[in-house]
Amino acid sequence: AVGDDRGSALRAFVPAERRTYLRVNTSKRRVECVYRVRF
């Protein structure tokens, strides 16, 4: 059950990250903030 929950969470995060990337591309200032948070 735990593994399934983690798998679903990862799948839910992948599209969310892609959406953030699209928004980040529109605003270059947020790119630096997002990269710092992710890395």
Structure tokens at 29: 């200032």
Q: Residue range 29-36: average pLDDT?
A: 60
User: Confidence class of residue 31 from pLDDT cuts 50, 70 and 90?
Assistant: low
Alpha helices, H only, the chain: 2-26, 28-38
pLDDT > 70: percent of the chain: 0
Q: Residue range 22-36: average pLDDT?
A: 60
Q: Residue range 2-12: average pLDDT?
A: 58
- Burial (CB count <10 Å: 0-12, 13-18, 19+), residue 31: middle
pLDDT score recorded for residue 39: 43
In 3-state terms, what secondary structure has residue 32?
Answer: helix
Domain range summary for the chain, segments of one domain joined by +? 2-38
